[in-house]
Amino acid sequence: MSVNNEPPEYDFAVRVNGDSITSLFSDGQIIYVTKVFETSEARNNQFVIAELNGDAYVKKIVFSDNRRSAV
């Protein structure tokens, strides 16, 4: 994986594969990710990398009660 400029500080990088949220991320785009260790760090309307059955997905997390973080 190569980039044209210095990437931001991050824990790992993933390449988008697919077009389910093309208005925000393009197929093939590199996303820099900061790992969080507690679900309480997740914020409403934040994008997360979620793993399900060994596959990773980029999803926007939305709390139904508009709380600021997961508890």
Q: What is the pLDDT of residues 21-61, one digit of tens each?
A: 767 888 888 888 888 888 788 888 888 888 889 888 888 88
Residues whose CB is less than 8 angstroms from the CB of residue 27 and which lie 6 or more positions away in sequence, other chains included = 16, 17, 18, 19
Cα atoms in the 13 Å half-sphere on the side-chain side of 3: 11
List the one residue out of 52, 54, 46 whose CA is nearest residue 70: 46
Tell me: the pLDDT tens digits for 3-19?
677 777 888 888 888 87
User: What is the pLDDT, as a whole number, of residue 4?
Assistant: 73
Tokens 């309480």, located at residue: 40
pTM of the model: 0.61
List the one residue out of 11, 58, 55 whose CA is nearest residue 34: 11
Can you read off the two tokens belonging to residue 27?
A: 């197929």
